[in-house]
Amino acid sequence: IVAEIEKKITEAFEVFDRESNKTVDVREIGCIIRSLGCFPNEAEVQELLAQIEVEEPGGFIHLEQFLPVMTKVLLEKRFWPIPEDVILHAFEALDENKCGYITKEDLVKYLTKE
Protein backbone atom coordinates (compact mmCIF):
# COMPACT_ATOMS: atom_id res chain seq x y z
CA ILE A 1 0.00 0.00 0.00
CA VAL A 2 2.92 2.36 0.70
CA ALA A 3 4.21 1.84 -2.85
CA GLU A 4 0.78 2.78 -4.25
CA ILE A 5 0.65 5.91 -2.10
CA GLU A 6 4.17 6.93 -3.13
CA LYS A 7 3.26 6.42 -6.79
CA LYS A 8 0.17 8.60 -6.39
CA ILE A 9 2.21 11.34 -4.67
CA THR A 10 4.93 11.18 -7.33
CA GLU A 11 2.38 11.49 -10.13
CA ALA A 12 0.75 14.51 -8.47
CA PHE A 13 4.16 16.08 -7.87
CA GLU A 14 5.20 15.57 -11.50
CA VAL A 15 2.17 17.53 -12.74
CA PHE A 16 3.69 20.62 -11.08
CA ASP A 17 7.31 19.77 -11.95
CA ARG A 18 7.45 22.01 -15.01
CA GLU A 19 11.14 21.47 -15.70
CA SER A 20 11.08 17.69 -15.08
CA ASN A 21 13.89 17.95 -12.55
CA LYS A 22 12.07 16.45 -9.54
CA THR A 23 11.52 19.89 -7.98
CA VAL A 24 8.54 22.20 -7.63
CA ASP A 25 8.15 25.77 -6.53
CA VAL A 26 7.39 25.86 -2.80
CA ARG A 27 4.24 27.87 -3.60
CA GLU A 28 2.80 24.84 -5.44
CA ILE A 29 2.89 22.51 -2.42
CA GLY A 30 -0.60 23.43 -1.20
CA CYS A 31 -2.04 22.67 -4.65
CA ILE A 32 -0.24 19.32 -4.77
CA ILE A 33 -1.50 18.35 -1.32
CA ARG A 34 -5.06 19.32 -2.23
CA SER A 35 -4.84 17.43 -5.52
CA LEU A 36 -4.19 14.33 -3.41
CA GLY A 37 -7.54 14.76 -1.64
CA CYS A 38 -6.22 16.42 1.51
CA PHE A 39 -7.53 19.81 2.55
CA PRO A 40 -5.23 21.51 5.04
CA ASN A 41 -5.61 25.20 5.81
CA GLU A 42 -2.70 27.50 5.01
CA ALA A 43 -1.27 27.26 8.54
CA GLU A 44 -1.23 23.46 8.24
CA VAL A 45 0.50 23.71 4.85
CA GLN A 46 3.16 25.89 6.50
CA GLU A 47 3.57 23.29 9.27
CA LEU A 48 4.15 20.61 6.62
CA LEU A 49 6.65 22.83 4.84
CA ALA A 50 8.52 23.23 8.13
CA GLN A 51 8.98 19.43 8.14
CA ILE A 52 10.44 19.49 4.63
CA GLU A 53 13.95 20.72 4.05
CA VAL A 54 13.64 23.77 1.83
CA GLU A 55 16.94 24.85 0.33
CA GLU A 56 16.08 28.53 0.51
CA PRO A 57 13.01 30.56 1.49
CA GLY A 58 10.75 30.90 -1.52
CA GLY A 59 12.77 28.20 -3.23
CA PHE A 60 12.03 24.75 -4.48
CA ILE A 61 11.00 21.48 -2.90
CA HIS A 62 12.60 18.23 -4.05
CA LEU A 63 10.44 15.15 -4.51
CA GLU A 64 12.72 13.09 -2.26
CA GLN A 65 12.08 15.56 0.59
CA PHE A 66 8.34 15.84 -0.05
CA LEU A 67 7.61 12.14 -0.53
CA PRO A 68 8.18 10.83 3.04
CA VAL A 69 6.28 13.72 4.65
CA MET A 70 3.30 13.40 2.31
CA THR A 71 3.30 9.59 2.54
CA LYS A 72 2.94 9.90 6.31
CA VAL A 73 0.09 12.42 5.89
CA LEU A 74 -1.81 10.06 3.59
CA LEU A 75 -1.17 7.00 5.77
CA GLU A 76 -2.43 8.89 8.83
CA LYS A 77 -5.43 10.14 6.83
CA ARG A 78 -4.81 13.72 7.87
CA PHE A 79 -6.62 16.70 6.35
CA TRP A 80 -9.51 14.72 4.88
CA PRO A 81 -12.47 16.79 3.67
CA ILE A 82 -15.53 17.34 5.80
CA PRO A 83 -18.00 14.48 5.21
CA GLU A 84 -20.67 15.20 2.63
CA ASP A 85 -23.55 14.68 5.07
CA VAL A 86 -22.14 17.35 7.41
CA ILE A 87 -21.90 19.86 4.56
CA LEU A 88 -25.42 18.98 3.43
CA HIS A 89 -26.73 19.50 6.96
CA ALA A 90 -25.03 22.93 7.09
CA PHE A 91 -26.66 23.99 3.80
CA GLU A 92 -30.04 22.71 4.98
CA ALA A 93 -29.68 24.87 8.09
CA LEU A 94 -29.06 27.91 5.86
CA ASP A 95 -31.98 27.06 3.55
CA GLU A 96 -34.58 28.79 5.72
CA ASN A 97 -37.37 28.45 3.13
CA LYS A 98 -36.61 24.74 2.56
CA CYS A 99 -36.54 25.30 -1.21
CA GLY A 100 -33.44 23.19 -1.86
CA TYR A 101 -31.06 26.04 -2.67
CA ILE A 102 -29.46 29.15 -1.21
CA THR A 103 -29.45 32.39 -3.17
CA LYS A 104 -26.14 34.01 -3.96
CA GLU A 105 -27.15 37.01 -1.88
CA ASP A 106 -27.95 34.86 1.15
CA LEU A 107 -24.71 32.93 0.82
CA VAL A 108 -22.70 36.15 0.64
CA LYS A 109 -24.58 37.43 3.71
CA TYR A 110 -23.88 34.25 5.68
CA LEU A 111 -20.22 34.16 4.70
CA THR A 112 -19.51 37.82 5.39
CA LYS A 113 -21.92 38.97 8.10
CA GLU A 114 -23.37 36.06 10.06
- Compute the distance between CA of residue 22 and CA of residue 13 in angstroms, rounded to an integer: 8
> Do 14 and 47 reside in the same domain of the chain?
yes
> Do 105 and 60 reside in the same domain of the chain?
no
In contact, 45 and 29? CB cutoff 8 Å? yes
Total structural domains in the chain?
Answer: 2
> Do 72 and 91 reside in the same domain of the chain?
no
In contact, 11 and 67? CB cutoff 8 Å? no
pTM of the model: 0.71
> Do 5 and 38 reside in the same domain of the chain?
yes
**Exposure of 62 by Cβ count < 10 A (0-12 exposed, 13-18 middle, 19+ buried)?**
middle
What is the per-residue pLDDT across 43-95, written as a single tens digit (0 to 9) for each?
A: 999 999 988 866 556 688 999 999 999 999 999 999 988 888 988 998 888 88
Task: Look up the domain containing 93 and give its range.
Answer: 82-113
CATH number, residue 72: 1.10.238.10
Residue-wise DSSP of 82-107:
PPHHHHHHHHHHH-TT-SS---HHHH
pLDDT of residue 1: 85
pLDDT of residue 55: 59
